[in-house]
Amino acid sequence: MTEPMHGVGQILLQNQAHVLDAWLARLHDTAPSAQPASLQLLKLELGTLVEKLTAFFLTGEGEGDALKSVEAQAAAISAACARDGLTPMETATLILSLKAIAGDLLNRESGRGTNELDRRRAALDAVVDKLALVTFASFVETREEIIRRQGRALLDLATPALPIWRHIILMPLVGIIDTQRARQVMEWLLEALAREEAHIAILDVTGVPLIDSRVALHLTKTVEAARLLGSQVIVTGISPDAAQTLVKLDVDLSSMITRGTLRAGLAEAFRLLGQNAKGPTETML
C-alpha cells in the first residue's frame, strides 16, 4: 500500500460525514431532474460509496477486491440514476463532483503546495476518473436494457394473438414489419396456434402502412409454417394501393387466403370450420 493512498484514506475516514454532507448539498445542483424519493435513496447509496471508497484507500490497491467493491457500488448508483430518468450529464457530474469535494479536503488537511498533497491528489483523481468511466458504462448498459424492454413491450402490444372463437385466433398487425418483427410474428403466431389448439389464424394487416414484396414474403412464410401445424391463415385488410403494388411487383400470393376486410375474413374462417357466422353467443364455449 502506498503512503499517498493511505493518507487519503485516513483523511476520508476522519471526515466521512463532512464529505457526505458536502456531496449531498450538491445533489440539487448536479441532479435537478431527480425526484424527492429518488434523492432519498441516492443519499443512502452515496453514503455507502463514501464508506467503500474510504476502505479502499485504507486497505486496497490496484485491482483488488476493495476497488471492485467501490466500482460495483458506483455502477449500481449509475444504473439507479438511469432508471430514475437522470441524464448522462447529471450522472457524470454527480460522480466527478467528488473530486472537487475531496480535493478541497485534502488541500486543507495536507497543506497547499506540498509534494505529498500532489501525490494524494493524483491518487484520488485516478480513482474518481476510473469510477466515472465505470458509471458511464453502467449508465449506457442500463439505458440500452430499458430501451430493449420497452421495445419488447411495444411489440407485445402491437402484435397480440387473440383467441376470438373456438379454434380461431386473430393477430392484428400495426406498424412497420421488418425482418426481426416478421420472425417474431411467425414465432408468436405458431405458439398461439399450438397453445389455443386453433385451426384458423386471421392476420389483419389493416394497420400496416406498407405492404411490399418483403412483407409479402414474410407473410407467405408464416402461412407455410402454420400449414405445417395443420392450421390455415387468412390475411385480411390489404388495401387497394397495396394490392396494386403487389401486382406490379409480380408477388405470388396464390398460396394465401386473402379477404378485403376483417368481417369477410371471419366469415371465411367460419366457412372453413363448417360453422355459420351469425354471432359468437351461439357457438362460443
Please tell me the predicted confidence (pLDDT) of residue 198: 92
Rounded average pLDDT over 140-164: 77
Rounded average pLDDT over 81-105: 83
Please tell me the predicted confidence (pLDDT) of residue 176: 78
* CATH number, domain containing residue 185: 3.30.750.24
How confident is residue 279, by pLDDT bands cut at 50, 70 and 90?
very low
Rounded to a whole number, what is the distance in angstroms from the first to the last CA of the chain?
A: 76
CA distance 153 to 147: 10
- Residue ending a domain, choose from 153, 185, 203: 153
Asked if 147 and 87 sit in the same domain, the reply is yes
pLDDT of 69 > 80? The answer is yes
Asked if 119 and 208 sit in the same domain, the reply is no
- 248's CB contacts (< 8 A; 6+ apart) are none
The answer to whether the CB of 258 falls within 8 A of the CB of 225 is no
Please tell me the predicted confidence (pLDDT) of residue 285: 38
- The single-letter code of the amino acid at 184 is Q
Asked if 139 and 175 sit in the same domain, the reply is no
Helix axes 3-14 and 16-25, enclosed angle (nearest 10): 70
Global pTM reads: 0.54
Asked if 127 and 190 sit in the same domain, the reply is no
Convert 17-78 into a string of H (helix), E (strand) and C (coil): HHHHHHHHHCHHHHCCCCCHHHHHHHHHHHHHHHHHHHHHHHHCCCCCHHHHHHHHHHHHHH
Q: Which residue has the cell 414474403?
A: 217
- The single-letter code of the amino acid at 64 is G
Asked if 14 and 137 sit in the same domain, the reply is yes
- The single-letter code of the amino acid at 73 is Q
How confident is residue 282, by pLDDT bands cut at 50, 70 and 90?
very low
Residue 56, all three cell numbers: 479502499
Please tell me the predicted confidence (pLDDT) of residue 276: 44
Reference 237, options 217, 224, 256; nearest CA is 256
pLDDT of 158 > 80? The answer is no
The answer to whether the CB of 163 falls within 8 A of the CB of 189 is no
How confident is residue 199, by pLDDT bands cut at 50, 70 and 90?
very high
Whole-number percent of the chain with pLDDT over 70:
85
Number of domains in the chain: 2
> Rounded to 5 degrees, what angle do the CA atoms 235, 240, 245 make?
90
Please tell me the predicted confidence (pLDDT) of residue 44: 84
- 18-67 pLDDT, tens digit each: 888 888 777 767 666 666 666 777 778 888 888 888 888 888 655 567 78
Handedness of CA 68, 102, 34, 133 (dihedral sign): negative
- What is the overall mean pLDDT for the chain? 81
- The single-letter code of the amino acid at 231 is S
CA distances from 201 to 2, 217, 226, 268 (A): 71, 17, 8, 11
Which range of 63-67, 111-115, 163-167 scores highest in mean pLDDT? It is 163-167
Q: How many CB atoms are closer than 10 A to CB 47? A: 16
* CATH number, domain containing residue 77: 1.10.490
Asked if 142 and 241 sit in the same domain, the reply is no
Asked if 149 and 22 sit in the same domain, the reply is yes
Which range of 25-29, 48-52, 210-214, 272-276 scores highest in mean pLDDT? It is 48-52
Rounded average pLDDT over 89-105: 83
pLDDT of 168 > 90? The answer is yes
Which range of 33-47, 116-130, 151-165 scores highest in mean pLDDT? It is 116-130
Of the listed ranges 44-53, 79-88, 105-114, the least confidently predicted one is 105-114
Residue range of the domain that includes 182: 162-282
pLDDT of 71 > 80? The answer is yes
Q: Give strand ranges (E) for the chain.
A: 162-165, 168-174, 200-207, 232-236, 257-259
